[in-house]
Structure 1
Amino acid sequence: MLKAAHSLSAQEAESIKRALLEAAGKHPSGPGETADPERIAQSLIAAFRIVDEATSPRPATSSRDMSEPTHSELIDELGGPTALARLLGVKAPSVHEWRKRGVPSAHGPAIERATKGARRCEALWPDVNWQRVADAAWPWHPDGKPLIDVLPAEVEQASSESA
């Protein structure tokens, strides 16, 4: 979970709400139709992307570690927007927008892999709660592959206390 929440615009919040309602089957394609599992999956993915884009940390401008590149510099380092878009399987206009808003943290593991560990997720997104899972195919870090811990510590603690 992100330590610092960023506010969503009304349009972003409405998009999330719509995608989640579709995923829950509340808005099937037409009258009398049931929600298609593929459509549910696409709706959930769309909702997660909207949330990730809206809550991704913005590149720091003043108190950042000067040994780490800004996200704009990172995009250039990885070959520019078109090359990074191809690497991540997204469209180049999205990557152009990331120069202003920051690269979404969900792309951290792919960037860490592409740089063979030279750019670590924890350094590029310090406000994200990263966890590492042992993975022999991830030799760049002794603790393994980076994953985002999306369960807030308070929820995790409460569920372990109630068990």
Structure 2
Amino acid sequence: MLDAAVIQQCADPSLKPAIVEQFVTAAGSKDPLAVTVKSGGRLILVPKATSADEAMAIVRQYAGQAVVRVGLTQFPAGIGVKEAADLKPDLVDACENLRVGTAMFAKVLRIVAKWYGNPTSNEVFPQIFEDAVYAWKTGEFEGVSVFQAEDPGKSVTIDKALPPDEGDAKHTSCGYIH
């Protein structure tokens, strides 16, 4: 569980703290030095980094050859970077990773919400969130590369939606009650 002060200080302000927590729980890592590498749909086992330098060495080794995810948000390393040498060590800084990761996830949420027609009902938000997490993990939604796609701008759904109350949640096929 993320510290509320870290969320307040570092996370994108367009996401409510509860949504940030849900996002990191669903798609991220508890370890700010976590590096995940996948190639051809297969997980490549890499040594666990014990320092920012080690984590960045792993990132640079695989960037451009595989899908490399980094840090608390499992941010896709290499987005907008032309060469591995241009990758910045702040990818593995917990606060900076949370800042860029939640900003990118907010954009992904807006893309998904727009596809749904930007509904205002809180009942639809769990499905939008679930689809956005899936898009975050795969990099695509409805054939669109979400990390390179243009940001559709503010979304009523994200600004007004509340995450489901865990006390009221019951198991459904998608894990939420509507």
Q: State the TM-score, normalized to the length of structure 1.
A: 0.25
Greater percentage in strand: 2
Q: State the TM-score, normalized to the length of structure 2.
A: 0.24
Which one has the largest radius of gyration?
A: 1
